[in-house]
Each structure stands twice: as structure tokens, then as C-alpha cells.
Amino acid sequence: MSSLKSIFAQSRLLAAVFGLAYALVGCSSVSHPPAPTSASAQDYTYIIGPGDSLNIVVWRNPELTTTVPVRPDGKIATSLVDELSVQGKTSVEVARDVEKVLSKYVRDPVVTILVTGFVGPYSEQIRVVGEAARPQALPFKLKMSLLDVMIAVGGLTDFAAGNRATILRGSDGNKQYSVRLQDLIKRGDMSANVEMRPGDILIIPQSYF
């Protein structure tokens, strides 16, 4: 009786193993269209997010000129400006908002906002997950390429399946594109280099072998 139970247990284990292997093969056979070589929007404007620093310059009012961090809740606070929401706005939009607040205390204020310590909102960041040497989120930059991203994350691990990597692109309705990281990094094939878009997620799977 115990031997019968052992046989059944082994059968169930083998079925589970074969099921997992089938699932892995099924996943690896899924094909995605190659990522477009040119993708960045020429009219891209930086969007402010938590972690950024804003240099607020008020013309002819040096006492109001200061540098403030954008808090995790996406707001700033400074002299005469209390709890102003800036997340998701451009520097020009924030400048106009600050002018509106200061106009209660200063005659015809002229404000310029300079962004430093770029981080940006999550929706704009490039996120790298999986078998990168240093998976992380990176602030998007105009004309940022796949090669730029891979240099920033330190390349691939020894276990990466670089040519099975994909880009999940939220700006295209979460469409997934294939990229050839192995060819790009190991073979120097620049035809595998593509431009990134704000919010792209680079997924680098592990090799099965």
C-alpha cells in the first residue's frame, strides 16, 4: 500500500514538473513585435515629480528666491507659498501658479522655475526589472536609448536571456515589444539599439539553461 502511495506521489510530482516545463516553453514561444528604432516625442516636456528640487527665482525679489524639494506628496512650501501642488506639472505651469499666489503680496511678480535633481513622476520613469546588474528606475531623458539604459544599470547578469527581453510601453496601451540586448551589448550590434519612451518598463528574463 505504501509503495502504491509512493508511485502516486511520484506521478503527481512528475506531472507538476512537466506542467511547469510546458508553461515555460509556452512563455518562451510568445513573440512580440520588435521595438520601433525611433520612438521619442520631439515635443517632450519634463514633468515634475516627488524628489525633484525646484529653484524658485522671483525677479527683483531676492528674499523670495529659494530652492525647495518636491515632497513625496507632490507639494512644495516656501515663503508666502504654502502647500502648492506641483506634481505632474511643467516648470512653466508651476511658475504661473507661484505668481498667482505671490500676487497677493507682491506687485506683478515674475517667477522662473528651474528644475534640478531630476527624478520625475513614476509614470515618466524608465524602470528596469529582471536580470540587469542593477535593476532600478531612471529619469527619462529626450533621445534616451536602450544602450543608455543598459549602461546606467551596469549591463546584464550572467543568467540573463538578453535577446528575449521586452519593453512594456504604457504610452502604446501597454503594448509589449521585443528587444535584442544580447546582440546590442555582447556583439555591439547597433541595429538592436532603440529609443525609449517615458514610462517604458524593460523586462529582462532569466535564461532557462
Residues 170 and 199: beta-carbon distance below 8 Å: yes
Q: pLDDT band for position 46 (50/70/90)?
A: very high
pTM of the predicted protein model: 0.79
* Tens of pLDDT, residues 142-200: 999 999 999 999 999 999 999 999 999 999 999 999 999 999 999 999 999 999 999 99
d(CA 65, CA 111): 9
On whether the 35-42+123-209 domain is CATH 3.10.20.30, my answer is: no
Place of cell 512594456: 168
* Tens of pLDDT, residues 180-191: 999 999 999 999
In the chain, the amino acid numbered 92 is V
Domain with CATH 3.10.560.10 in the chain: 35-42+123-209
Which listed CATH number (3.40.50.1100, 3.30.1950.10, 3.10.20.90, 3.30.450.70) goes with 53-116? 3.30.1950.10
More confident residue, 20 or 42: 42
Task: Report the DSSP beta bridge partners of residue 202.
Answer: 128, 167
How many contiguous H segments (helices) and E segments (strands) does the chain have? 4, 10
* Tens of pLDDT, residues 73-130: 999 999 899 999 999 999 999 999 999 999 999 999 999 999 998 999 999 999 999 9
Domain with CATH 3.30.1950.10 in the chain: 53-116
Residues 70 and 87: beta-carbon distance below 8 Å: yes
Please give the pLDDT value at position 114. Answer: 97
